[in-house]
Amino acid sequence: MTKRSQPSPPDLSQYPRPNLAVDLVLLTVRDDALQVMMMERPAEPFAGRLVLPGGFVHPEEALQETARRVLRCKTGLDDIMVEQLFSFSAPGRDPRGWVVSVAYFALVPAAVLLGAMDPGQKLRLVTIEADAERSNDAGLERHVRLLHDGDPVEPGFDHLAIISAAVARLRAKLDWSLVAFGLLREEFTLFDLQRVHEVVLGRPLLKSPFRKKMLERAFPGGRRLVPTGRFDRSGRHRPAELYRLEPGLVPHSFESTLP
Amino acid sequence: MTKRSQPSPPDLSQYPRPNLAVDLVLLTVRDDALQVMMMERPAEPFAGRLVLPGGFVHPEEALQETARRVLRCKTGLDDIMVEQLFSFSAPGRDPRGWVVSVAYFALVPAAVLLGAMDPGQKLRLVTIEADAERSNDAGLERHVRLLHDGDPVEPGFDHLAIISAAVARLRAKLDWSLVAFGLLREEFTLFDLQRVHEVVLGRPLLKSPFRKKMLERAFPGGRRLVPTGRFDRSGRHRPAELYRLEPGLVPHSFESTLP
DNA sequence: GCAATAGTGTCTTTCAGACACTATATC
DNA sequence: GATATAGTGTCTGAAAGACACTATTGC
């Protein structure tokens, strides 16, 4: 980066600069569906359309901090895993001019998100319908539909592509990372965990192999699922034991390990 | 992206803008080692140190085009797969000021690269020594060393982290994508393919299961390995049959499917 | 007892790893 | 014929899928 062919003084002002923004794909699992937080856009372009929350990067601010700032501004939440997704730069993607946007995604349990969304901000939870599992991102035909209260949603800008990328990333990381736990509260039943997997992958899973695998495997950092001895008695049937993930320090995001 | 809270005219000039650059991690496999193309930096900062080739993004130019332009400028190569890797934004990463850099990686067969590197540009092929396989990027302790002619290399800027990210991505994609073929010429023996896998993963593989898997599996796009009927007779032993990847249209990069 | 979900056991199939064997070129 | 690599066959053990079974609650 940041070099030119002929020796010259450290002066960068000669180069044209784009506006740089961050868009946040905040995902949750609610009502057995994958949902994304969007907001009604207050101004042109795309006034009134649903878009992802976002903001411009401040000088000397790391992109991850921008993402966290946007998250905090809309929901008040902090200490949520955010992860860089992709940078979008197609000419014309913003009618106002040259804007490059770095997409981040974040995961929040629905119960937490519902209590945190700022009511003054016209925020909406939009259901994502995605075709059944396609493990790879390359060659991914993006068949993602958005529904709000049953009505199809046409988001502004290129935000449908951004959401597609987030779903692809989420699926790709589901079975080797801790992303599933970002969508669950501290304690959960094994069936809660299974429903999260099913909703993200878009297909049903068999109970017995799923349980066995989850109880036997080690997650990143050597962490395992441990029973708490407490039970969920909310159903009218045999109570389900609550589990939690063994404590451990595991970086939430790729970026967090960088200088 | 690209929004603010209060309705206002489409004017973006009020927001401070960073310099935006692209850095290219051009990888190849040569002498049974993974190598990256770097160049001696001609000016301060980091004058004389080895850095990745890069350049600033032009207005209304997609980032991928910038990456291709950098590649073309240094090697004359075109029609090479380039893929977006990660955006680096840590404050202070460039002493000259606020520079955000989007890293791309590209793969070229060594025979092609050696014939294409511009001799006027002080380009170097640097060997990457990476710890044995770590499949995940999260939690990745980056143990990557660079060697040029046997001497350790300390790259300028944060380019060691960028190279680490490229190696991690390459490893992660090795067994479900077509990246391995980006490092091979059109026709190759199965052992050539195996050596590429071994060098990328940093560990030896068994011949028989490797061959069986490669010959039976379908690669993205349903493409398979097909024998050509031609043989490599360069060794002093039984000739090895040359194979190639069944033709097919598969997007080389995530970004290529976006608007 | 009945309905409903929690949770377990087991069989089968698939696949990766390991290794032994045969084949065919150069010298 | 010696040697070096190409290429194949087969055993084994681990893991995934499918399904049947038992357990425990509310009503």
As a rounded value in angstroms, the CA-to-C1' distance for A185 and D25 is 24
Question: Is the entire prediction scored with pTM above 0.95?
Answer: no
* C-alpha torsion B86→B117→B77→B45, nearest 10: 40
B102 to chain A: which residues are within 8 Å by CB? 87
* pLDDT surpassing 80 at residue A8: no
Whether B135 contacts chain A with CB within 8 A:
yes
For residue A45, say if its preceding peptide bond is cis, omega within 30 degrees of 0. Answer: yes
pLDDT band, very low/low/confident/very high, at B247 (cuts 50, 70, 90) = confident
Percent of chain A with pLDDT over 70: 88
Q: Does A48 touch chain B (CB under 8 A)?
A: no
Alpha carbon of A47 to those of A40, A112, B151: distances in Å? 7, 29, 58
Number of H helices, E strands in chain A: 6, 12
Cβ contact A17–B22 (<8 Å)? no
CB B144 within 8 A of CB B160: yes
The answer to whether B230 and A62 have CB atoms below 8 angstroms apart is: no
Query: Which tokens hold the place of A229?
Result: 């001895």
- Closest Cβ–Cβ partner in A22, A138, A178 for B254: A138
Distance CA A51, CA A40 (A): 6
State in Å, rounded, how far the first CA of chain B is from the last one: 16
Q: Which residue has the higher pLDDT, A12 or B100?
A: B100
Mean pLDDT of A138-162: 86
- The whole-number average pLDDT for the span A97-106 is 97
Mean pLDDT in residue range A159-185: 93
Tell me the pLDDT band of A1, cut-offs 50, 70 and 90.
Answer: very low
* Residue A2 C-alpha, separation from nearest chain B C-alpha, in angstroms: 6
- Cα-based torsion angle of the residue sequence B149, B152, B158, B160 in order, rounded to the nearest 10 degrees: 80
Nearest CA in chain B to A142: B257
Mean pLDDT, rounded, for B113-135 = 86
Nearest CA in chain A to B73: A5
Q: Would you state the pLDDT for residue B1?
A: 46
Q: What mean pLDDT is predicted for residues A43-64? A: 95
Residue B210, CA: closest nucleotide via C1'? C16
CA atoms of A17 and A10, how far apart (whole Å): 16
The answer to whether residue A55 scores a pLDDT higher than 90 is: yes
DSSP B61-94: --HHHHHHHHHHHHH---S--EEEEEEE--TTSS
> Is residue B200 over pLDDT 60?
yes
Residue-level pLDDT at B8: 44
Q: From A252, which residue of chain B is nearest by alpha-carbon distance?
A: B138
The rounded mean pLDDT for chain A is 89
Burial bucket for residue A237 (CB in 10 Å: 0-12, 13-18, 19+):
exposed
Contact flag B87-A63 (C-beta cutoff 8 Å)? yes
Among A1, A15, A94, beta carbon nearest to B2: A94
For residue B124, the surrounding DSSP H or E stretch is: strand B123-130
Check pLDDT > 90 for residue B51. yes
Q: Give the span between the Cα atoms of B107 and B184, in whole angstroms.
A: 9
Mean pLDDT of B13-27: 95
Q: Where are the alpha helices (DSSP H) in B85-221?
A: 110-116, 159-173, 179-182, 190-201, 207-216
Provide φ and ψ at A144, rounded to 5°. Answer: -125, 130
The average pLDDT across A87-111 equals: 96
**What is the structure's pLDDT at B140?**
47
When pLDDT is cut at 50, 70 and 90, the band that residue A14 belongs to is: confident
Give percent of chain B above pLDDT 70: 88
pLDDT confidence bin for A259, thresholds 50/70/90: very low
DSSP tag of A47: T
Q: Mean pLDDT lowest for which of A144-148, B43-47, B165-169, B254-258?
A: B254-258
Which helix (H) or strand (E) covers residue A160, if one does?
helix A159-173
SS3 A105: strand
User: Tens digits of per-residue pLDDT, A203-251?
Assistant: 999 999 999 999 999 998 889 999 999 999 988 889 999 999 998 776 5
Residue B137 — pLDDT band, cuts 50, 70, 90? very low
Across chain B, mean pLDDT equals 88
For residues A150-164, average pLDDT: 96
Residues of B in contact with A98 (CB under 8 A): 59-60
CA pseudo-torsion sign A207, A208, A212, A215: positive
User: Which residue is closest to A174 within chain B, CA to CA?
Assistant: B136
Q: Give me the mean pLDDT over the B6-24 stretch.
A: 81
Per-residue confidence (pLDDT) for residue B7, from 0 to 100: 42
Contact A124, A104 (CB under 8 A): no
Write the CB contacts of A188 (distance below 8 Å, at least 6 apart in sequence): A242, A243, A244
How would you classify residue A140: left for phi > 0, otherwise alpha for psi between -120 and 50, otherwise beta? Answer: beta
**Across A149-171, average pLDDT:** 95
Amino acid A45 reads: P
Whether residues B12 and A4 touch (CB distance < 8 A) is answered with no
In the numeric block, which tokens belong to residue A9? 């003084």
Q: What is the mean pLDDT of residues B228-256?
A: 81
- Rounded-to-integer distance, Cα B240 and Cα B206, Å: 17
Using a 7 Å CB cut-off, which residues contact strand D? A 206-209, 213, 233, 236-239; B 189-191, 207-208, 211-212, 215, 231, 235-241
Task: Confirm if A72 and A86 have CB atoms less than 8 A apart.
Answer: no
Which segment of A97-106, A138-147, B213-222 scores lowest on mean pLDDT? Answer: A138-147
The span from the CA of B101 to the CA of B87, in Å, is 6
Q: How far apart are CA B118 and CA A42, in angstroms?
A: 51
Q: Give B198 to chain A, closest Cα distance, Å.
A: 22
A84 contact B CB<8A: yes
**Residue closest to B57 by CA, chosen among A98, A86, A9, A159:** A98
- Cβ distance B42 to A6 less than 8 Å, yes or no, reads yes
Which of strand C's nucleotides are less than 7 A from any protein C-beta? 3-10, 16-20, 23-27
Say yes or no for a CB contact (<8 Å) between A1 and B250: no
Confidence of residue B251 (pLDDT cuts 50, 70, 90): low
